[in-house]
Amino acid sequence: MTAQHTKATGFRILVIDDNADIHMDFRKILTPVKQTPTDLEALFLGEAPRSDHPSVEIPHFELAAADQGLAGVEMLQAAMEAGARFDLAFVDMRMPPGLDGVDTIERLWELDSGLPVVICTAYSDYSGTEIFERLGVSDRLQILKKPFDPVEVQHLALSLATRRSLEDQASLRTEELERRVEQRTLDLHEAKDKAEAASRLKSEFLANMSHEIRTPLHGVMGMLELLKESGLAPQQQEYADVSLSSARSLLALINDILDYSKIEASQLQLDEHPFCLRRMAEELITISAAQKGDRSVDVVLDYCDTAPSLVVGDSLRIRQVLTNLVSNALKFTQSGEVVLDINAVACHDNISTFRFAVRDTGIGIPEDKLSVIFGKFAQADSSTTRQYGGTGLGLAISQQLIHMMGGRIHVCSEPGRGAEFSFHLQLPVCCDLRDESHADLLTSAPPQGLPSGDPTNPDDRPVVLLADDNEVNRVVAGETLKLLGCEVVMAVDGRQALELMSQQAFSIVLMDCQMPVMDGYEATQSIRQLAGPARSVPVIALTAHAMAGDRDKCLEAGMNDYLAKPFTLETLQKKLERWTGRSLTPETTGS
């Protein structure tokens, strides 16, 4: 054993023995002087040094001695509390009164389980087997027979204490490594959290920004619609048409960005409710077919006869995905067909697994682009942007939405022959599987008991209360309403709307949701508390929040329906007709 293995401060040894002479013997044997092995022997036997052999320097040992087991245990405890452990203990076996050697060792190991112990014994109450039975067989336990051989004592002391010291160093190093790994893991988590927070902030910013852009865009689109109805010269009409279609494209793009950023910011929640899937698919195909223009493309719905119709799911999002796939199919197909195929492939515990597929006979997608096209702003061929338009966000959004609904989208294609996009969704089936008579009740609540004419208005023109704090919105909606032949009264907030309601009868209320002083939700709740017929006037929410959950919020507040801004003349007309029970025709305002 070389000096480099010893500690600079020396090894700390605890001797527990009821015989004070033994303490002395240990002190002599482990005294840090230069001695030869024979000198040590002589020293131990109380004789003078016997030889002049070259001496060796034995390492420094610090000794502490206790004459009783309990006292030894207390010394160890005090040392540990002071942060200075012992490297080794020599424990006598027989120590009356109190703890004997084995009891003492058990207590020492309770305090310091790694402490090496040498049992010193001349005769014992325990056999070796009993000792090992109680203390277990371990390399931290050695037995030393009295009388001692000083060299053996030195050797034992040095080897056991050195080993302990090396073990300590190793465990310190392991602890240090573990600490570093832990710190590195923490740093990585922190960096990941920061990156996610930054990405969320970016997405939130995008979501807010695109949301804010919708309001002025509403003004632009509304005014263009009014302009178109104002008796323009043919060229002016064309300018207005192009402006309006550009504004619509911009709105579609902003809606896509809004959706995508909401998904990325984890703000998009699914809104599941019962609806008629078959009817939704039929409507979608009817609307899509109208977009094919003069191309000879058959737009077909193939809804499997045995598949249930009434299901529970987020109809808005399923429709959004299917609309996107069908309109892509149509966009890239010059002739042939576009088929929306809906099939139920399995049913367990009233949950049907639907397979949705959109097939076309269009240009197809090269194999190396099949996975690329699902990335945001990704297109199979950049020339398609010029030729067919689009932003490259549609499939990215569809993929995320399908994922949120528990499915995965697949695509297969043969360039020049067409493409098929498909996905599976598990949708709970409503109790009465194929009874479509329920569908009406579930998809929309038709107004009941509406007056067919308005007794408050001799002209029988609907009198509309329009509550909106934004002036541009008031002008656009006000002018559109007038164009539809309505009489319009304006309020700038919910409180003013309520006051007007108590002074005058209205056929319908168009209520913005977010307004200062009193918002649309609170105003509607108060309207529903009014006395007389005013309490049951239809209230239509006008909101720039085009999220599915907003509809529920409006209905919960007592509103009857919901119109997302920006709305077109046509959608406003339909809502008014539905809720006033009258048919309205836009008047041309120009000369």
Binding site for ligand ADP (CB under 6 A): 324, 328-329, 332, 360, 362-365, 373, 378-381, 384, 390-396, 419
The two tokens of residue 567 are: 């709305």
Whose Cβ is closer to ligand ADP: residue 121's or residue 398's? 398
Q: What separation in angstroms does the CA of 467 have from each of 77, 179, 217, 474, 538? A: 79, 62, 19, 8, 13
| Least distance to ligand ADP, CB of residue 198, Å | 25
What count of other Cβ atoms lies within 10 Å of the Cβ of residue 452? 8
- The tally of CA atoms less than 13 A away on the side-chain side of residue 392 is 16
| Least distance to ligand ADP, CB of residue 420, Å | 8
Whose Cβ is closer to ligand ADP: residue 411's or residue 477's? 411
| Least distance to ligand ADP, CB of residue 240, Å | 25
Whose Cβ is closer to ligand ADP: residue 72's or residue 418's? 418
Residue with tokens 């507040």: 557
Gap between the Cα atoms of 375 and 217, Å rounded: 27
* H-helix or E-strand spanning residue 341: strand 335-348
Look up residue 571 and give its amino acid.
Answer: T
Q: Among candidates 251, 550, 518, 570, which has minimal Cα distance to 561?
A: 550
Whose Cβ is closer to ligand ADP: residue 289's or residue 378's? 378
| Least distance to ligand ADP, CB of residue 528, Å | 43
| Least distance to ligand ADP, CB of residue 331, Å | 6
Gap between the Cα atoms of 269 and 548, Å rounded: 8
Whose Cβ is closer to ligand ADP: residue 19's or residue 391's? 391
| Least distance to ligand ADP, CB of residue 373, Å | 4
Contacts of 322 (CB under 8 A, 6+ apart): 281, 284, 340, 356, 358
Do the Cβ atoms of 476 and 567 come closer than 8 Å?
A: no
Whose Cβ is closer to ligand ADP: residue 398's or residue 543's? 398
Whose Cβ is closer to ligand ADP: residue 156's or residue 254's? 254
| Least distance to ligand ADP, CB of residue 380, Å | 3
Decide: residue 313, CB within 10 A, 0-12 exposed, 13-18 middle, 19+ buried: buried
| Least distance to ligand ADP, CB of residue 395, Å | 3
What count of other Cβ atoms lies within 10 Å of the Cβ of residue 478? 19
Do the Cβ atoms of 161 and 13 come closer than 8 Å?
A: yes
Provide Rg for the chain, Cα atoms: 44
Do the Cβ atoms of 14 and 89 come closer than 8 Å?
A: yes
Whose Cβ is closer to ligand ADP: residue 343's or residue 379's? 379
Cis ω for the linkage preceding 97 (within 30 of 0): yes
* H-helix or E-strand spanning residue 142: strand 141-145
| Least distance to ligand ADP, CB of residue 571, Å | 23
Q: Are strands 273-276 and 351-360 parallel, antiparallel or unpaired?
A: unpaired
| Least distance to ligand ADP, CB of residue 393, Å | 6
Whose Cβ is closer to ligand ADP: residue 6's or residue 320's? 320
- The tally of CA atoms less than 13 A away on the side-chain side of residue 24 is 7
Whose Cβ is closer to ligand ADP: residue 380's or residue 483's? 380
Whose Cβ is closer to ligand ADP: residue 332's or residue 567's? 332
| Least distance to ligand ADP, CB of residue 390, Å | 3
Residue with tokens 């309490």: 535
Please state the φ and ψ torsions of residue 104, each to the nearest 5 degrees. Answer: -60, -45
Residue with nearest beta carbon to ligand ADP: 390
Whose Cβ is closer to ligand ADP: residue 86's or residue 421's? 421
| Least distance to ligand ADP, CB of residue 394, Å | 3
Gap between the Cα atoms of 82 and 75, Å rounded: 11
Whose Cβ is closer to ligand ADP: residue 6's or residue 400's? 400
Please state the φ and ψ torsions of residue 501, each to the nearest 5 degrees. Answer: -60, -35
**SS3 helix, strand, coil % of the chain, rounded to 5?**
45, 20, 35
Look up residue 104 and give its amino acid.
Answer: T
Please state the φ and ψ torsions of residue 368, each to the nearest 5 degrees. Answer: -70, -5
| Least distance to ligand ADP, CB of residue 491, Å | 40
